[in-house]
Structure 1
Amino acid sequence: DAQHDSREVRIGDLYCAVEGQRFNGHDFIGEALERGAVAICAHHEEAVPEDVPRILVPDVRAALGPLSAKVHGHPSLRLRVYGVTGTNGKTTTTYLLRHVLQAVDRRVDLIGTVERTVGGEAYKSKRTTPEATDLQRWFAQMLEQGTEDVVIEVSSH
């Protein structure tokens, strides 16, 4: 799996050291390695121990999507993904679209402000638009559950 949060790293994962507003993921490379990361995606080469496989990129956040998709076998290519954006009405629109698709016997999951579903099972959402690492993992899980379509509420910022 690919992780952007060192606390979520499990044995065999790729850890992506994202530089955020409050924290710099490069500061947590040691923790990620202790938790079992087998490779690091980073911007600063000197932050990665010499014996650790690395992917060096100019912008780790920009690399999250492509790397996560690759790790999971590009799951969105096998799903119909509907993104809903705008100032008002995103949640209502995503629920309406999900119901329309279900009415024509499509297997549909949802990712939004209130909840996300995987194989029809609901989970409380933490944020409107998830990080790419989470999104690609969920897409892969949805495919495993037989999902055909995904309706996503997308933040425009």
Structure 2
Amino acid sequence: PEQGSFWSAKILAAKPDLHQDLERWQKVYQALQPDCGREPYAATLQRFWEALDGPAAIAQLAGAAGVSNSLRFLDLLDQCPQGRGEETLAALEGLLQNTYTPPDPCAAFSPITMLTIHKAKGLEFDHVFSVGLDYDPRTRQPRGAQKAAFLMDRLPGKERSYLAAGATDRTTS
């Protein structure tokens, strides 16, 4: 290919008119370019991301969960074969199809765990609330229009204990 036909050369050739962020990008790119292809893609991308203050930008936009997702992406990229870029991208796409979002780091500070019934299978908890088990999609009524599965109220008095009363089970009545 002739001189200056690559996209990177075209960007670098426009230096006098570059915006401040592109100048910063250019400096980082030039510093990392000698290592491109000599180290795993994930390592190069992570160094590039960190040099451009990517973690701080993601944290500002999406919080700790965004940074966690970004790091998970880099972990997946590191699992891909190092070779031609097309092969690596195809492998990465396959991994992304079968990957779940990592847990939110901020959730570690909460005493409450919210799980699907499938994820909770085999786990033990002191208290479990299963929401929506009384909903019958066959009735085509909004949730509030159906009879509640149970009623709960506070009893009068000093202790203010709770009283719960269950409704009839629609599967046996």
Which TM-score tier does this pair reach, normalised by the shorter chain? under 0.3
TM-score normalised by L of structure 1: 0.26
Larger Rg: 2
Q: Which has a greater percent of strand? A: 1
Higher RCO, 1 vs 2 (CA within 8 Å, ≥6 residues apart) = 1
TM-score normalised by L of structure 2: 0.24
